[in-house]
Chain A
């Protein structure tokens, strides 16, 4: 089975712009979670989608949003980019949501640089 794929792998944007990142989960997985990784804050949960519905949201401003399509593919959007949004954005997929034994498998990430 193919793993989690994320596109693009690298992005450079300027402050004030907006960006859309894409994630394709492992075939058959219905849950997609997004994380932001920075040197200072480490890995932080952004949000989680299951069956096209946002199930959980982390502590991020409203500029961060996402959606999930009927084929489980997910996108996240960041509007009005700030320098502090520079980070590695990781997507993870799992079979279900909320099952304690459910393992999340991560994609390679999208490296976003905001200038």
Chain B
């Protein structure tokens, strides 16, 4: 099984709707990162969460970290076609907490219908 599990794997929403993507770790988290990727391109950094209960927002995207549950959620409010892409969570976990190695989830593909 994956060390970082993302759900759902894919999502199709109508423009203007809200949505949530979850990322759950089977190990203790030492820093959780959210990235966005357009197919076949590089990853664009969105947000980094480190402390339990931490919440960060950028434009219409909010990410939260629940340290106890070893889980993070990414919430998009009033989705737009520009939000379409693949969302990836990455993390340092036990065994890689003091390294540059990030473990990644399998990604969530988001389509936004105009």
Contact = CB atoms under 8 A, between A and B. Distances in A.
B23 to A, nearest CB: 13
Contact of B42 (A58, A90, A101, A102): A90
A33 interface: yes
Nearest to B43: A106
A25 to B, nearest CB: 12
Contacts of A42: 104-107
Given A103-B45, A106-B43, A107-B42, A31 B100 contact: yes
B92 interface: yes
B98 A108 contact: no
A109 B101 contact: no
Contacts of A106: 35, 42-45
Interface stretch (A12-20, A48-56, A65-73, A78-86): A48-56
A19 to B, nearest CB: 18
Contacts of A88: 40
Interface residues of B, number: 27
A109 B103 CA distance: 18
Interface residues of A, number: 31
Contacts of B102: 33, 35, 45, 92, 104
Given A97-B100, A100-B31, 5 more contacts: A104-B102, A106-B42, A108-B41, A108-B42, A109-B40
19 contacts: A31-B100, A33-B100, A33-B101, A35-B102, A42-B104, A43-B88, A43-B104, A55-B99, A56-B96, A56-B101, A58-B101, A90-B42, A92-B100, A92-B102, A100-B30, A100-B50, A103-B45, A104-B100, A104-B102
